[in-house]
Structures are given as structure tokens and as C-alpha cells.
Chain A
Amino acid sequence: MTDLSLTSLRSLPALAWITAAAMGLALVLALIVAPEDADQGISQRIFYIHVPIALTAYFCFGLGALKALLLLWRGEERYDLESYVAIHQGTIFGALTLITGAIWAKASWGVWWTWSSNQLVLFLVLFLFYCAYFMLRFSLDDGPRRARSSAVYALFGVALIPVSFLAIRLAEDFIHPTVFTREGPQMSGSMFATFVVSWAAVTLLAYVLYRVELTGKRLDADLRELREALQ
């Protein structure tokens, strides 16, 4: 039976409240306090939600791959569920990245999507790759074979992350804006502070959702085990 640490579970409600407060603060900063961009106008405010969500999606996919590596390396069963939940979170945040990105594209470029932007296409490829992870996982029976196959697939996907992340720097893509250059962030101090708060809030949100989902899945497995023992 899984060891559900009571100490870690007790900290979850407090963490959820901190996340809610951070999200509220990020909203106020992004929609009211941050100055309006001289070039893009009000639509630039989508940046404060779109970029943190995209970075969180990359982080979740990376975490899923790390847990997959740990599963293959150490062989501990718990890493399979942790890898799965991280990739599930990454897919949710990936879908949100695509949706908020499409809205921002409509506001900035007048179109919902453009195939000429490498950044957009590579992120879509990354997202679809991880969508296929679920097809692979649920096509196999529960057990060590499924865990290992899913882990290997998750590890392959991690190679796409730097390619997607660096796409606008590697290719001559002038459509998708590059805000963070070698000279630092191309924005004012208050805009950067708003971005950092938003990023922290979204990361906290992802962490809370990860913990809640993981706890739920472990509880589910424990209950199934208990039912089998009682019957």
C-alpha cells in the first residue's frame, strides 16, 4: 500500500490558499498595475498568462521525463505514477498555451494560427507527442511493461523541449516575439516584476494540481488494494 505522508497532505490546503492569493495578486498586477505596452497595447497583457503557462508546460514535461528516468534507473513503481501525473499536467498546461497563444495571435497578428512560425508548430508537435503518450499508456495492460514503455516514450519527448524552446532563436522566425534575449528581458522593470509574480503563481498552481492529482490517484490505488484484501 502507498505511504500517504500525512505531513505532506496537511500542507496542501495552506499551499492551495497561498496559490489562490498569488493568482489574485498576479491578476491585479497583470490587468491593472502593469503599464500598457507602447507597441502592442492592451493585448500584450496576455503575455503575463501565456508565457508562464508555456514555461510551466515545459517544466511539467521535463519533470515527467525526470521521473521516467528515475523509474528506469531505480525501478521504483511510484515514479511511474509521478511521471504520468506530471505529463498529464504538462498536457493541460500545453493545451492552455495553445489556446492563449491563439488568442494572442488573433489580437496581435489578426489570425488565430500561422503555420509559418516555427515556435508555434514545434510547440504543437510537442503537445501532440505527449497526447500520444496517453494513447500508448492506455493501450497497454497495467503493470511493469506499461510503466517501462511509458517511461521510454516520456524520455524521448524531452528531446523536443529544448528544440521547441529555442526554436525562435535557432530559426529565422520573426513572427513570434523574442522577449528574453542575451541582453536580458526586453521590458520595463514593473513589467518584468509582473511576469515573475505571474510565473510564480502559475508554477504554484501546477504544483498544487500535481499534488492533488497524485494524492487522488494513490488513494484510488490504495482503496482498490484494500477492497481486494477485504473481499
Chain B
Amino acid sequence: MSWSQEELVAAAYAVVFVFVLVYVAIIAAKLARLQRETAELAALARGKARNEG
């Protein structure tokens, strides 16, 4: 397959863009998990406080 110079330049910039996009998606997924865990821990702490009180 032959690539034109323009296509190769576009590919170089697109690769960087896709990498950053994937990285942001991974971070977003991690943030969602942390948010879920924080909510679980908050519920656990509230339950503990109710039992002690």
C-alpha cells in the first residue's frame, strides 16, 4: 500500500490525538470507579455512625 506524504503527516498527528483520547478515556473510567468507591465508603461510614449512635 502506498501512502502519500499528506496522509503520512495526517497519520502522525492522528496517532498522537488518539493516544491522548485513549488516555483521557482511561482516566475518566478510573474517576468513575473512584467516585463509586467513595459513595460506597460514605454509605459504610454512615452505617457505622448509625450503629454506634
Residues of A within 8 A of B (CB): 27, 31, 41-43, 45-46, 49-50, 53, 92, 95-96, 99-100, 103-104, 106-107, 205, 209, 212-213, 216, 219-220, 223, 226-227, 230-231
Pick from A104, A213, A227: contact of B12, CB below 8 A. A104
Q: Which residues of A contact B16 (CB under 8 A)?
A: 49, 53, 96, 100
Residue of A nearest to B23 (CB): A209
A100 touching B9 in the complex, CB below 8 Å, given contacts A209-B23, A223-B38: no
What are 22 of the A-B contact pairs (CB < 8 Å)? A31-B9, A41-B5, A43-B5, A46-B9, A46-B12, A53-B16, A95-B19, A96-B19, A100-B16, A103-B8, A103-B15, A104-B8, A107-B5, A107-B8, A107-B9, A213-B27, A216-B27, A223-B34, A226-B41, A227-B41, A230-B41, A230-B48
Cross-chain pair count, CB within 8 angstroms? 66
* B20→A205 contact, CB < 8 A: yes
Q: Say how far A203's CB is from chain B's closest CB, in angstroms.
A: 14
Q: Which residues of A contact B20 (CB under 8 A)?
A: 205
* A100→B12 contact, CB < 8 A: yes
Chain B interface helix/strand/loop/mixed: helix
Chain A interface helix/strand/loop/mixed: helix
Q: Which residues of B contact A104 (CB under 8 A)?
A: 8, 12
Q: Say how far B34's CB is from chain A's closest CB, in angstroms.
A: 6
Q: How far is the CA of A31 from the CA of B9 in the complex (A)?
A: 9
Q: How far is the CA of A132 from the CA of B19 in the complex (A)?
A: 21
A100 touching B8 in the complex, CB below 8 Å, given contacts A216-B27, A230-B44: no
Q: How far is the CA of A9 from the CA of B5 in the complex (A)?
A: 42
* A46→B45 contact, CB < 8 A: no
What sequence of 0s and 1s flags, for each residue 1-14 of chain B, a beta carbon within 8 Å of any chain A beta carbon?
A: 00101101101110
Pick from A41, A92, A223, A230: contact of B23, CB below 8 A. A92
* B12→A216 contact, CB < 8 A: no
A49 touching B34 in the complex, CB below 8 Å, given contacts A205-B20, A230-B41: no
Residue of B nearest to A107 (CB): B8
Q: How far is the CA of A213 from the CA of B12 in the complex (A)?
A: 25
Q: How far is the CA of A8 from the CA of B43 in the complex (A)?
A: 28
Q: How far is the CA of A219 from the CA of B15 in the complex (A)?
A: 30
Q: How far is the CA of A94 from the CA of B44 in the complex (A)?
A: 42
